[in-house]
Amino acid sequence: MAERSFAREVEKLRLGDGDNFVGEGILAITKALLENGVGYVGGYQGAPISHLMDMLADAEEILDELDIRFEANASESAAAAMLAASVHYPIRGAVTFKGPVGVNVASDALANLASAGVNGGALAIIGEDYGEGSSIMQERSHAFAMKSQIWLIDPRPNLPSIVKAVGQGFDLSEASNTPVMLMVRIRSCHVTGSFATSDNRRPPLTVTGALADPKSDFTRVVLPPWSYIQEQDKVNNRWPAAEKHIRENGLNELFGPVDAGIGIVLQGGMYNSVIRALQRLGLADLYGDTEIPLYILNVTYPLVAGEFLDFCAGKSAVLVVEEGQPEFIEQGLGAILYKAGSDVRLFGKDVLPMAGEYTGQIVLDGIAAFLRDAAPELLPAQRRAPNREEQPPVPDLAKTVPIRPPGFCTGCPERPVFAALKLIEGERGKHQIAGDIGCHLFAALPPFEIGGSTMGYGLGPASNGAFDGGGDKRAISIIGDGGFWHNGLASSFGNAVFNKSDSVIVVVDNFYSAATGGQDVPSSRADNRSKSTKHPITEAVKGIGVEWVRQVDRTYDVPLMRDTLREALTTEHKGPKVIVAASECMLNRQRRERPLEAKAIADGRRVEKPRFGVDEDICTGDHACIRLSGCPSLSLKRLDDPLRDDPIAAIDESCVGCGNCGEVADAAILCPSFYRADIVHNPSWIERTFAGISARIIAALQARRARARLDFAEG
């Protein structure tokens, strides 16, 4: 089940001409696709556009009504390859995935698509999450757009601009026979607002219609000599056509006075930050009217030289606000000015940071520094000096606030897998362990500190290939079920079988692509009305030649996990050893079960829920259970006992009753202090009677014990 259902929201996709849409950026993009006659859509989930795939899945009924094909692709490369339908046919297609990692995965298909060119509009919607909201390496998709000459749109982050950019992207793609990347930043994906809707459009040519009348053109195949001709076509025809279309249709925007002596060039996605900074400087109002001319690059690649030079006419200095590194746009604009022999001073990364997210304060400081040099008369008096002593220094919170890295959820079934691994390391010493993309990568952090590398989604076992040369200890790789189906089966498991790897691979099967929002994968246990599920991972690996396969169907059984790992590391069998550790993602399980439990309780039905606790009298306070579990519900508690200074372990109200803490304590022979208590809602009259009797007996025994204790109070 997906992290969030959009069953109610998708009804907004039926809004027609003259209606007003109010909602989130992701839903607005979906509506824009329908309004622009898209013929097929697909993609791979991943923040910040995971919800776009969930939205499309929930909207399949509407897509079917319009004869639009929807494909939940196995990977970003599969999604990009699907855009091949627009090469020969005048069908508009759109796919979506996270960038730049998604662009990296899709690079082969995207490069071939860009070389061949397209007849129908081809749009790749890239969820760009550069900055501190990101969970990936800090890179930009801009470099790939330049490398393959795919046009890049970066719209202003408001719903009317984003919706307009979808249509502009299709038009630009068709006008220049080139695929287009629409970059929506993390803030754009989840910004809320409104826009006037239009009627949905059925595609003029559907994929079903194209299938009935097949087309082919061998000059579109990327083979010599046509690959050389395609490169010339890019430079001599497609690029000029794109520049002409961008300029004639006003895809980039100009705001502010025409005759000012300075100006600011900015990516469309940086508009809100820039206009807010100008407002704080008193140079713009709440409606966006600015005293400084703004040249907004809604199309950040290609740059239109003539349009930029026109903006620079009569100006002495221009600032480029470009988030991320390297400074591709600044370099391109500098080259345009140099070739034109212009004496306009170009500011950019000299007053703004080379790397890192451009927060509101950073943009404000950068624009102020630019104005102090180029037009100090425009600044308020208190900001004209480079150092403003009247402002207190911003404290370095890194020295006072501890970092808060991500971690496993309460009750996560992956935690006991790594508790078992820690026990094995206690027996056999430290092993070479490689991780993969997914929730299990949190095991690299304390308290487990297992594994220290990840090379890509589904590539964890492949990244251990160099360590498969024998030795006393076998290398261990961890991969999730999402990574397994994304890229792992062929690239990692096929690689291990072919090379007769003697390593151990643990597949953490939590029934979903949990890290991207809980979407179903082929091995999911749930029924899915439009997708095929219930395909066991064990059968898949056996099918490609893995002979040693074990499945653990309850990962919370720490002794069984430990014993299975020990067997894999000590067996005489040569070849890859695969352990499938299967238990449902607790977050998804809670999303499914809690509403049902709440309804049952409200209906007066008996509901029993397990909870765990720590016996204060038995706990020794060594905290080994915390070091071997790391569960967020396990914390410390100080006793009101003058003879016991050390805090003991305690379980708070967030406990979901998974039992992992007790299993770890038992497997590690720690202590018997953990207990289970079953909370019964709507108990029967017999249970209530016995509970009352038990409470009275316990109260009497506690009172007797209290009387027998020594009293140290002063008389």
Inform me whether the pLDDT recorded for 452 exceeds 80: no
What's the whole-number mean pLDDT along residues 334-353? 96
Do 554 and 612 have their domain in common? no
The whole model's pTM is what? Answer: 0.86
169 with 32, same domain: the answer is yes
41 strand-pairing partners: 70, 94
CA 38, CA 50: separation in Å to the nearest integer?
20
Grouping H, G, I as helix, E, B as strand and the rest as coil, residue 463 is helix
Q: Which CATH number belongs to the domain containing residue 425 in this structure?
A: 3.40.50.970
Q: How far is the C-alpha of 558 from the C-alpha of 185, rounded, in Å?
A: 42
pLDDT tens string 485-512? 898 898 899 999 999 999 999 999 999 8
**DSSP β-bridge partners for residue 579:** 506, 550
Tokens linked to 152? 């890049």
- Report if residue 595 sits inside a domain: no
Q: How far apart are CA 9 and CA 21, in angstroms?
A: 11
**In this structure, are residues 147 and 205 in contact, taking their beta carbons and an 8 Å threshold?**
no
> pLDDT, tens digit, for every residue of 185-204?
887 888 899 999 999 999 99
Q: 599 lies in a domain?
A: no
**What are 536-578's pLDDT values in tens digits?**
999 999 999 999 999 999 999 989 999 999 999 999 998 999 9
Q: What is the CATH number of the domain that holds 269?
A: 3.40.50.920
**502 and 444 assigned to the same domain:** yes
Quickly state the pLDDT bin for 517 (edges 50, 70, 90). confident
pLDDT in the model for residue 16: 95
Residue 55 and residue 171 in one domain: yes
From CA 215, how far away is CA 593, in angstroms rounded?
50
User: Average pLDDT of 245-267?
Assistant: 95
- The string of pLDDT tens digits covering residues 690-710 is 989 999 999 998 888 888 876
Q: CA dist 555 to 168, 546, 579, 580, 591, Å?
A: 50, 22, 11, 10, 20
Do 580 and 657 lie in a common domain?
Answer: no
Q: Measured between alpha carbons, how far is 636 from 230 in angstroms, rounded to an integer?
A: 66
Whether 469 and 524 share a structural domain:
yes
pLDDT in tens, 630-669: 788 887 888 877 777 778 888 888 888 787 776 776 766 6
Residues 443 and 504 in one domain: yes
305 is in which domain, residue-wise? 253-387
Q: What is the CATH number of the domain that holds 642?
A: 3.30.70
Q: How many domains does the chain have?
A: 4
Average pLDDT for 451-459: 81
* Same domain for 267 and 241: no
* Separation in Å, CA 607 to CA 311, 426, 597, 623, 680: 70, 40, 7, 33, 6
Q: Using pLDDT thresholds of 50, 70 and 90, give the confidence band for residue 519.
A: confident
pLDDT at 184 over 70: yes
Residue after which a domain boundary falls, among 224, 248, 272: 248
Q: Are 30 and 52 in contact (CB under 8 A)?
A: yes
Residues 663 and 551 in one domain: no
- Rounded Cα distance, 171 and 91, in Å: 12
Cα dihedral 279, 285, 289, 291, rounded to 10, equals: -60
In a domain, 495, yes or no: yes
Q: Model confidence at 221, in pLDDT bands (50, 70, 90)?
A: confident
Dist CA 672 CA 665 (whole Å):
7
Q: Is 213 within 8 Å of 130 (Cβ atoms)? A: no
Per the document, the length of the chain is 715
> Same domain for 516 and 661?
no
pLDDT digits over 476-488, tens only?
Answer: 999 999 889 898 8
